[in-house]
A = this chain, B = another copy of it.
């Protein structure tokens, strides 16, 4: 971002109470929509000028979709709203005493503040991995990862040394949650249908996909049966799944697992964890990088400061650490909070948040997905169709629905994925393991 000191906030005081929302994710935009027919001035801040439909990021990373089809410009999504202001700004600090937030271009006063800042990749303190691995949480992460995959492929045909080639063709994905499973599956599908044709000079069986998971099963947030099914699908697609294994270290060339296994690889995809985006300034309890909130999403110790979505931990018997970090929960919390704003104005009592679980799902590949419903689970072709339908309905904007649907239809018919441009080049030098034979 440009340095912005010469600019200023420039939001008029209209006499209405001002609600400031930090973050234009699922929670943030749902809340904007809920508040806009109420008598508030609404200010939305985000570092980006677009909303990202994160569940499909992995398809951007694996060359199935273009970034624009899973992201919506925030100004377009929220077009025509009255007394609404969007600012593309980072928030540096919250000042609860002065009732304002600090940004690089000045302070913004608030009457109500809602922190919907979401989550970011968690490297669990491993700085080497943070520097060398590829995360998959932002749109730019997805573009970086796509370029890395394709550059590794290009480089793999430019060596006669089988060890170096293997290093370039090993793709290691850490984390057996939906993201890890989906990346591994999509990459295996690309190997089968696309890369085999793009690189005829390569023995495509040398392209190896590893999925490393610390627990003894995949998709830990879903039913055991679904995890088993996903494992079966991945094995069918030729993915090397290693359960109960933890990555100890990575130097850009070799991945070391806790059982002593070494995997040489230029590409380590880190999908092993996320943490809340805490903003400095509040004296409230933060648990595992999430704000502890009450049943009305109020941050402990404050009357007019709220947290919703991934960054909020609403503890309960069922979820002693707070709800899982999922889009439906973020949206439902935003909806409930919007209703409570109205109830408060009308002198009604506030409604505590109650999560309505409509199910969770993950896709592995062509005709292969798993769906958990509150009262059962299923897999296979039907699950895959349900997965597609739910994602199409959920993605924001009619244009995006159309574009994503056409892309899927096209890929299904042609077994092709169109999006294989390397638009971001990496300065990082390929690093190979010291040649032992030379020693």
Which A residues have a C-beta under 8 Å from some C-beta of B?
Answer: 1-4, 6-10, 48-50, 66-69, 71, 73, 75-76, 79-80, 85, 87-89, 105, 139-140, 143, 150-151, 154-155, 157-160, 164, 197-201, 399-400, 402-403, 406, 410, 414, 416, 418-423, 425-430, 432
Contact = CB atoms under 8 A, between A and B. Distances in A.
Given A2-B429, A4-B155, A201 B85 contact: yes
A289 B114 CA distance: 59
A67 B422 CA distance: 11
Q: Taking chain A's interface residues, is the majority helix, strand, or loop, or is none over half, making it mixed?
A: loop
Contact of A7 (B158, B198, B419): B158
Nearest to A155: B7
B66 A421 contact: no
Given A66-B66, A428-B2, A158 B421 contact: no
Contact of A76 (B10, B73, B164, B198): B198
Contact of A155 (B2, B139, B410): B2
A421 B75 contact: no
Nearest to A71: B421
10 contacts: A2-B429, A2-B430, A6-B159, A48-B421, A49-B421, A49-B422, A67-B423, A71-B421, A139-B421, A406-B406
Nearest to A429: B3
10 closest residue pairs by CB, A with B = A73-B420, A75-B198, A7-B158, A88-B154, A3-B429, A50-B421, A66-B68, A66-B66, A68-B419, A7-B159
A309 to B, nearest CB: 21
A112 B381 CA distance: 52
A427 B71 CA distance: 23
Contacts of A428: 2
Pick from A7, A160, A164, A403 the residue with the most CB of B within 10 Å: A7
A88 B10 CA distance: 48
A158 B9 contact: yes
A195 to B, nearest CB: 9
Contacts of A7: 155, 158-159, 164, 430
A168 B406 CA distance: 37
Nearest to A411: B399
A158 B105 contact: yes
A158 B66 contact: no
A166 to B, nearest CB: 14
Nearest to A103: B158
A105 B150 CA distance: 18
A105 B425 CA distance: 17
B199 A430 contact: no
Contacts of A87: 154, 157-158
Given A66-B68, A399-B410, 18 more contacts: A2-B426, A2-B427, A3-B430, A4-B158, A8-B159, A68-B418, A68-B419, A68-B421, A73-B420, A76-B416, A87-B154, A87-B158, A88-B154, A89-B158, A139-B421, A139-B423, A402-B410, A403-B406
